[in-house]
Structure 1
């Protein structure tokens, strides 16, 4: 279990800066938030230990990686018992094409973000999702046409 961490003004400032500039050195970050480098690093380590900072990643252009299609897929399951949800979640976790999954409320159970090379690959994957013993009753597919806004981070409000 991760330790709870109450965010103060400086923590929030650190988070805003790191989301926008993840490769910033600790020295530069410390200068920008008005801390010593050791105090800044201690705060970052605490934010990591508590799970507020979950990792550091490079944002890649999927189309530079020979990813032909990006799909948003709505999945409805036949049943909703915990074991049925766990079985589905374990199955999609093992599929590298499923790059993101969210269990949601509403008319569908899951929203998946899937990347494939082409429509043939999606057809095979869709048949696997529908045909395998995952308890899927309905799949609705949306093909990404363009991205007028990309995710660059969560809003970190001052409190």
Structure 2
């Protein structure tokens, strides 16, 4: 990623439009942001290359696709050295049940979003995470009951 790259008004409009509807065709996007299709496509490719656009995904309703239990786990680590953080990061990346992970500040170190079929599966994963080589000291778990507001994107200031 180029540290000197800055977003201009058109880049921000493209990001806002794609975040609202990632299925926009280049033609529709170019019309929405008032650019030619070729100029619009060049900007989108640059935004992807520079890491502003990290991917395109379908957002699924976990209750409709019957994924099992969705949990949020607050993880406190035993140690905080770069090596211990890297070891924990590697361990959770290897677990397909961990669908999202954030290293956070505050009372705990990580917030994980986890999908499991049942509580015994989560118990086995928790035991792996608290194993000495992984380094979790404490896990506080919350079960998702419903989603009154879903994530639809970050606020992009369009000038």
Q: Normalising TM by the smaller chain, what interval?
A: over 0.9
Structure 1 stretch displaced more, 129-138 or 70-79: 129-138
Q: Does residue 6 of structure 2 align to residue 39 of structure 1?
A: no
Looking at structure 1, the residues matched to 90 and 65 of structure 2 have their Cα atoms a distance apart, in angstroms, of 26
Residue 145 of structure 1, CA deviation: 1.1
Contact 1:72/1:144 (<8 A) preserved: yes
Give the 4+ runs in structure 1 shifted more than 2 A. Answer: 63-66
Task: Tell me the SS of whatever aligns to 1:158.
Answer: coil
Looking at structure 1, the residues matched to 93 and 79 of structure 2 have their Cα atoms a distance apart, in angstroms, of 19
Contact 1:66/1:117 (<8 A) preserved: no
Task: Tell me the SS of whatever aligns to 1:64.
Answer: coil
Q: TM-score normalized by structure 2? A: 0.95
Specify every segment of 5 or more residues in structure 1 that has no aligned partner in the other structure, as ranges. Answer: none
Name the residue aligned to 1:89.
Answer: 89
Q: Does residue 77 of structure 2 align to residue 77 of structure 1?
A: yes
Looking at structure 1, the residues matched to 46 and 129 of structure 2 have their Cα atoms a distance apart, in angstroms, of 40
Matches within 5 A, 1:1-159: 2-4=1-3, 5-131=5-131, 133-159=133-159
Looking at structure 1, the residues matched to 77 and 137 of structure 2 have their Cα atoms a distance apart, in angstroms, of 5
Residue 135 of structure 1, CA deviation: 1.3
Residue 132 of structure 1, CA deviation: 5.2
Looking at structure 2, the residues matched to 105 and 77 of structure 1 have their Cα atoms a distance apart, in angstroms, of 12
Residue 63 of structure 1, CA deviation: 2.4
